[in-house]
Structure 1
Amino acid sequence: MKKREPAKCVFSGDIEDLSHVLKILCDMNRLRIMCLLFEGEKCVCDIEQQLLLSQPLVSHHLGVLREAGFVSVRRKGTWSYYSLVRERIDELNHLFDRILGRERFPENYPSREECLEVEGGTIGT
Structure 2
Amino acid sequence: MLTTQAEPLTLIRLKALAHDLRYEIVCLLAQRELCVCELEVLLEGGQSKVSYHLNILKEAGIVGVEQRGKNSFYRLERQTLYTLGGELLKDVLHRFDALELTHQDNSMCYDKSRDANSNPLYPQQRP
Q: TM-score, normalised by structure 1?
A: 0.70
State the match for 1:118 in structure 2. Answer: none
Structure scoring higher RCO (CA < 8 A, sep ≥ 6) equals 1
Gaps of 5+ in 1: 1-5, 114-125
Aligned-pair identity in percent equals 32
Asked whether the equivalents of residues 6 and 91 of structure 2 are also in contact (C-alpha less than 8 Å), the reply is no
1:84 to 72, 76, 82: 76
Q: How many residues align?
A: 100
Q: Which residue of 2 is the match for residue 112 of structure 1?
A: 99
In terms of fraction of residues, the more helix-rich structure is: 1
| 1:47 partnered with 2:34 | no
Of the three residues 58, 66, 69, the one matched with 1:74 is: 66
Q: What does residue 37 of structure 1 align with?
A: 29
- How far is 1:17 from its partner? 4.4
Partner of 1:21: 13
Q: Which runs of 4+ in 1 moved over 4 A?
A: none
Q: Distance in 1 between matches of 2:25 and 2:63?
A: 10
Q: Which has the larger radius of gyration?
A: 2
Q: Distance in 1 between matches of 2:3 and 2:91?
A: 14
RMSD: 2.3
Tell me the TM-score normalized by structure 2: 0.69
Tell me, which stretches of 5 or more residues in structure 2 are unaligned?
101-127
